[in-house]
Amino acid sequence: MKRTYKLIASRGNEIVFDDRLQADTPRDARQELKRQLGLQSLSGIVYSITEIPVDLIREIVDARLAELAGGAPPQTPVPADVDALVI
């Protein structure tokens, strides 16, 4: 089953890849990263692979939609006047 992975890779101070990929395993995602970068090896590349749990995100969204449909006011995660906080 394909899963969604977020990959960020850099060489030195330069980000060379920052995107999502679908793959069966993190290893397959790493192989796809090498293919997209045109490399035989990831030597010299610093990278991070994070699985995006789509099922969990879907559950959270469904629960939030149900909450809103029940008439609950939306919660504001940050103050409404964010500009006042920015210096």
pLDDT tens per residue, range 46-87: 999 998 877 777 888 888 888 887 765 656 555 555 555 554
Q: What is d(CA 2, CA 82) in angstroms, rounded to the nearest whole number?
A: 39
Answer for the pair 8, 52: CB distance below 8 angstroms, yes or no.
Answer: no
CA-nearest of 28, 29, 27, 20 to 54 is 20
Q: Which two tokens stand for residue 38?
A: 């045109």
pLDDT tens per residue, range 9-22: 999 999 999 999 99
Tell me what the pLDDT averaged over the chain comes to: 83
| Domain segments of the chain as ranges | 3-71
Q: What is d(CA 70, CA 64) in angstroms, rounded to the nearest whole number?
A: 10
Give the residue with greater pLDDT, 77 vs 31: 31
